[in-house]
Amino acid sequence: MRIYKGQLIKVMLIWIFLKFKKEVSIFVMDISQIKKRGIIFSTPKEWNVQYVTACIIQGLKELDVPFSIVKDNLIDMSKAVCCVDLSQYNHIHIHNKNEIINFGGLENTDMKLVAISSSDNNSLLDVNIPLFATHEVRDYYFEGKIRIPMGFGLSNEIIDSSKLYDLNDTREISILSSHKRTGNQSIRDSAEFSIVPHFKKHFFVDNKLSSLEQYYKRLSRYSACLTYCGCFLPKPNTDIKVPGVYKTETVIVRWDCWKIWESFAFECLVINLDFDKYGFILPVMPVEGEHYLGIDLEDPKSSCERIMDMRSKWRDIAKAGKKWAIENYSPKIVAQRFIENLALL
C-alpha cells in the first residue's frame, strides 16, 4: 500500500509538472504568435485612434510587431488580435458585437478580440469582450466583466518635447494650474475653493491657458503642477440605475489626464489626489511621497501644509517621478505589457 501511495504521488507530481510546463509553453507561444502575426486596430471611419492606442502603436513599432489600422469592416483574419478602439464612445452600452464592427466569421478563427476605452471608468461593454480601460478605480467596479487597467502614459512626442528644454534644478517657486473650464470637471472646480487658496498663500499659482509651446516652457520652469482632474460620481439614492457597483458613497471617475504624464516627463512635481486613498488603479502604481505628492480632500489644508513642508524634497521627487514614468509608461514598455496581457486572455 505504501508503494502504491508513493507511486501515485510521484505520478501526480509529474502530471502537475507537465501541466505547468505546458501552460508556460502556451503562454510563451502566445506572446511569440502575437508578435509574429501582429495586431489589427479597428476604428470607425470618422475617428482617429485615441491617444492610448497611438502610444501602444508607437511601442509596437519599436518592438517590430506588425500592426494595421482599419476604418471599415474588412478584418485581416491572419492577425493574432483585433483591438476595437472605442474612443468615440463615452458611456458604452453595447449589446451586440455588430454594433461596433462587423464581426462576421471572427468566431471561426483563433483571433483574440479586445477593446480599448479611455473615456472614463463608467464605460461598459455589455458584450463579453475584454476591455483595456483607463481611469479604473478600486471602489467602482463591474461584476463579471474582464477589465484590464491602463494609464494614459507617455507618447514619444511628449518624451521628445521634454528633451528640447533645459530641465535643470533652478526652478521658479511657482505652481502651474492651467485647466480648461469645461463645466464637466467637478474635481478641478471644487479645488478652486478647497486646494488652490492654500497654495496661493505661499506660491504664485499660474492658471492662464497658453499655447502648447508656452505650456511646455512653464512645465520646464515651474516647480510643481496641479494635475488632478475628473468628476465625482455619487451613489444614487433613488431608482436611477448605474452600470457599476459602488463600494463607497461617492467615487471619482475620469481621473487620468495628459497633464499628469507631461508633468512627469518635464520633471515638474506632480501634485494630485492621493492615488491609494481614492483607489486609482494603474498596472504599475506610483508611490506617494516618492514619485508624486498626494492630497486628501477630507483635509486639504493639512495636505497642502504637508506638501509645503516638503519643499526641500520637491526636486528629488520630481526627478524620481520622471524616472518611474519613463521606466513603466514609455511606449515600448506599455506595448510589451499590452502583449503580455493579451497572451493571458
Q: How confident is the model over 13-59, as pLDDT tens digits?
A: 333 333 433 333 333 337 988 999 999 888 766 567 889 999 999 99
Q: Stretch 282-287: mean pLDDT, rounded?
A: 98
Residue in the block written with cell 501526480: 12
The CA distance from 185 to 286, in Å, is 23
Contact assessment for residue 125 and residue 95, using Cβ atoms and an 8 Å cutoff = no
Q: Which residue has the cell 511621497?
A: 289
Tell me, what's the pLDDT at 50? 87
Distance CA(56)–CA(54), nearest Å, equals 5
How far, in Å, CA of 120 to CA of 230, rounded?
9
CA Rg value for the chain? 23
- Asked if residues 252 and 207 have their Cβ atoms less than 8 Å apart, the reply is no
**In degrees, to the nearest 5, what angle opens at C-alpha 137 toward C-alphas 136 and 142?**
75
Map out the domains of the chain with their CATH numbers.
Answer: 2-153+331-344 (no CATH), 156-329 (3.40.50)
Beta-carbon contacts of 215 under 8 Å, excluding residues fewer than 6 positions away, are: 178
Lowest-confidence pick of 108-112, 188-192, 215-219, 293-297 = 108-112
pLDDT at 185: 87
Residues for the chain: how many in total? 345
- Residue 33's Cβ-side half-sphere holds a number of Cα atoms within 13 Å equal to 16
Predicted local distance difference test score (pLDDT) of residue 122: 60
Could you tell me the end-to-end alpha-carbon distance of the chain, in angstroms, rounded to an integer? 43
Report the share of the chain in percent with pLDDT over 90: 56
In whole angstroms, give the CA distance from residue 223 to residue 102: 50
Q: Is the pLDDT of residue 76 over 50?
A: yes
Q: Which three cell numbers stand for residue 16?
A: 502537475
Distance CA 155, CA 332 (A): 10
Amino acid at 273: L
pTM: predicted TM-score of the whole model, two decimal places: 0.85
Q: What angle do CA 311, 317, 323 make, to 5 degrees?
A: 160
What value does the mean pLDDT take over residues 280-302?
A: 97
